[in-house]
Structure formats: C-alpha cells, structure tokens
Amino acid sequence: MNKLWNGRFRKGLHPEALKFSSSLHVDNRLYREDIEGSLAHVAMLAKQSILSSRDAKKIQRALLEIGREIERGKLSFDKAPTGQKRFVAEDIHMAIEQRLIEKLGELGGKLHTARSRNDQIALDERLYLRRTILAILKLLRRLQKTFLAKAEQYRDVIMPGYTHLQRAQPVLLAHHLLAYVSMLERDYERFVDCLKRVGRSPLGAGALAGTSFSIDRKHAAAQLGFSGVIENSIDAVSDRDVQIEFLAACAIIMMHLSRFAGEVVLWSSHEWRFVDVGDAFTTGSSIMPQKKNPDVAELVRGKTGRVYGNLVTLLSVMKGLPLAYNRDMQEDKEPLFDSGDTVEDCLHLSALMLRSATFNTERFEKELQSDFLHATDLADYLVRKGLSFRRAHAIVGSIVRFCIQKHISLADLPLKAYLRYSRHFGQDVFGLLDAGRSISGKKSSGSTSPDEVRKSLAVWKKKLH
C-alpha cells in the first residue's frame, strides 16, 4: 500500500528502510489512545463545521469498529494468521488511518484534517501517561497499606537500627517500616504533580505552526478530560518534558523499591535471619538442595538499573535537538512503556512479597543484647548531669573501647568501672541499658518512641484508608 504521504515521492520507501523506521511493533499498544484522540478531534471538526455532522458520525462509528477489531484480534500488527488482516504501516496512527480509508474510502482521509502526526503522538502519549500514572498511584497506595499492615502487626517489636550497616540504636520495627510509607508518599505526590502537566493537550498544534482551519482546541481538550492546552504550537510538538518527568519519578520509585528489596535480600540471609519471605516469592537452586533464594527481591533490585537507563536514554535523545519535531523523538516510546510496565510490576510484586514476609522477633531480641546500642543513651545521661555533649561523647567512647578490649558489654561493666571515667555515673545508669527504656525515652516528634509511632500509625491509617 502506498504511504499516506507518498504524493511527493517517485519511489516508495525501501523495505529495509521501512523496517528500520517503523515503530508499529512498539506503538501499537497506543491504539486505544489514538482512537480516543481521533474521536475527540472528529467531534471538534463537526462542532466547527469543518466536517458535516453526518460524516463525523460515520468516521466515529468506523473508528470504534476498528478498535473492536483490534481488541478481538481481527487486525494484526505483525504476522497475520489466516482470517486476520495485517497492518503494513510506519506506526499505529497510519495503520488506523489506512484501515479507516479502507472502510470509508475518501471520507476516511478527512480524519487528518487540521492535524499532524506530531500533535497526534504527543496527545496519545499524554493519554497513555495519564492512564499509567493513575494505575501507578493505585499500586503505590496498595504497597503503602501493606507496609502499614505489617507495621501494625509488629508495632511493639524492637530491633537494632543501623547506620553505615553498623549497629546504631534500638528502634521499633514499625518505625522502620513506616519509613517506606513516607518514601512512597513522596512518590505519590510526585506523580500527582506530574499529572498537572500531563493534563494539557497538544492537539491542534499541527506539525509545528498550528492550522489555518478554525478549530477549537479547548473543546477537544475538554472532551478528553484535559485541564487546558499547551499554548505554544512549537512547544506542544517538540517537547518531551512530561515524559522525562514521568521517567524521573519512575526512577525514584525504583530507587525506593530497590532499597527495600536490598534489605529483604540482606535480612533473609542466614547471617541476619531477620525476615523469612514466603516460599511463593523465592526459588531454589538447581544444584544445592538447601537453598531458598530471594529472587523476586533481587529482580526488583536488578530492574532498577533498566528504569534508570530509560531516563538517561530519553534525556540523551532530547539533548541538542533543534526545534521543532525530529524523528529521533520516536525513540521515546520504548523507554516510556518499559518504565511504566516495570514500575507497575515491581510495585505489585513488592506488595505481594511483603505480605508473605514473617519477621523474626526472637532474632531481634537476641541481637538487642549484643553490641553497644545504648551508647548514645549513656552520653545523653551524662549531658543531663551537666556535661557538654562532646565531653560526654568522648567519655562513653572510651568506655566502649575498654569493653571491646575486655570482651564485655556495657551491662557487664560494674559501677566502679563507670566511675573511673566520670563521677557523674550512678546506680541508675544500669536502668538505661534496656531497649524498651531507650525507645520510650525519645521525646522528639517523628521519633521511634512508642507514643510517636502510635500517632504515626493512626495518621497513616486515616490517610490511606
């Protein structure tokens, strides 16, 4: 079939050049968005008397029929089995228009009046982004609720907290889990904010200069549920900011999921034994019968690099492109779709994996007895006795060094030994060397104290439910 732009050319596109330049194998998934945008465009053309109402209805009916043909598998974008019609086109826009012309003849060719593929694809991608962002927001909420449920389940469990992967201070496990709820909330806010910019229509910008037809861009935008239009026609077709913003938000989500997955991998190891992931989200070894590998967590961690790469890919594509549209921008679709799919999958699987997880409370209790988790509490004790914090820090550091040399804990050190370091120590110092007292002693808002964690649980429960 001749290309819809072939009038100026003596020869058709070389088959290898067509194969190289075609995006149909990628953008065919935009057929719903393309038909949705075309329906709104035709309705606007009829409203403006650019098309007759009768012709507009015929085109709209045919577009809906094409949508059903695609959904029922009667039209193929690749190799067509017997009984199917195969599209031979550069992209989904041309494929649908070709099919429309087959159905309606010359009338089908009127669909593209006052429109370019440049504003058409920019519109389709925004419709895709809107749908995908709404799906991601739903999955973010589901994962947040799963973290919240686990935090409530283990609300009284104390664990060693870490910095630099070294034992630091006791914290409530619920407090640790709620940190992820907070991270994911920022992800949620980023996507909600991104939706504001996604929600502006480029339709009607034409190739770059607008159109000589008296169209109503705001009417078409309103039909599609957009809040407004992108005013500058060149900007509307040559920019991919919202796509880049979407990919950046996806990359940050994956960074958060990767940190969680990394902890699952670490915590489920024999050396840590802090968590046991359900069998349905782990695998065995082909050679070692005893193995239980946290493959789902590792894959989430591994797929993060792909999403990072997608962001860099599109930034690189757009760098230095002269205005307005350039064919380079066709390369935005694979990173866009891949990141959307990957984030949706990883959010979904992370929630299922977390739901299956069991935390080892006995292991936490045992680990709280080792190391020097209460050193900061000792320093604070001396500060309340009148010492400067720096002086108190130095004293407690010396005590810890002595205990390490003698292979004893802070609780094993007798009072007379404490007094050698400072006369401010008293018998009450031993009451500090308890994890429960340590967390209960925290006074600042947002801390790991049981009261603050209870407040936080209540706030998130209200917000998320």
Pick 17-112's CATH classification: 1.10.275.10, 3.40.640.10, 3.10.129.10, 1.20.1250.20: 1.10.275.10
Contact 174, 188 (CB under 8 A): no
Residue 398: the pLDDT is: 97
Range 251-287 burial, b when 16+ CB lie within 10 A, else e: bbbbebbbebbebbbbbbeeeeebbebeeebbeeeee
Residue 275: the pLDDT is: 97
As a whole number of angstroms, the distance between CA 456 and CA 182 comes to 10
* Mean pLDDT split into 10-residue runs, the chain, 465 residues: 59 75 85 97 98 98 96 73 59 92 96 96 97 98 98 97 94 98 98 97 96 97 97 96 98 98 97 96 90 95 98 97 92 96 98 98 91 93 96 97 94 95 95 93 95 97 93
* Residue from 270, 264, 291, 281 nearest 363 by CA: 270
Domain boundaries, the chain: 17-112, 117-366, 375-433
Does 164 participate in catalysis according to the annotation?
A: yes
Contact 397, 420 (CB under 8 A): no
pTM for the whole structure: 0.92
**Omega prior to 324 cis, within 30 of 0:** yes
Q: How far is CA 364 from CA 56, 111, 275, in A?
A: 69, 66, 10
Q: Are strands 200-201 and 228-229 parallel, antiparallel or unpaired?
A: parallel
CATH class as words, domain 375-433: mainly alpha
Q: Residue 105 is which amino acid?
A: G
As a whole number of angstroms, the distance between CA 155 and CA 177 comes to 10
Length of the chain counted residue by residue: 465
Q: Are strands 358-359 and 275-276 parallel, antiparallel or unpaired?
A: antiparallel
Of 285, 316, 398, 445, the active-site residue reads 285
Beta bridge partners of 285: none
Residue 1: the pLDDT is: 46
Residue 27: the pLDDT is: 85
Pick 117-366's CATH classification: 1.20.1740.10, 3.40.50.720, 3.40.1280.10, 1.20.200.10: 1.20.200.10
Of 164, 270, 407, 465, the active-site residue reads 164
Residue 23: the pLDDT is: 82
Residue 83: the pLDDT is: 54
Angle between helices 241-267 and 295-318 (to 10 degrees): 160
Q: Exposed, middle or buried: residue 72 (CB in 10 Å: 0-12, 13-18, 19+)? A: exposed
**Cβ neighbours around 160 below 10 Å, total:** 18
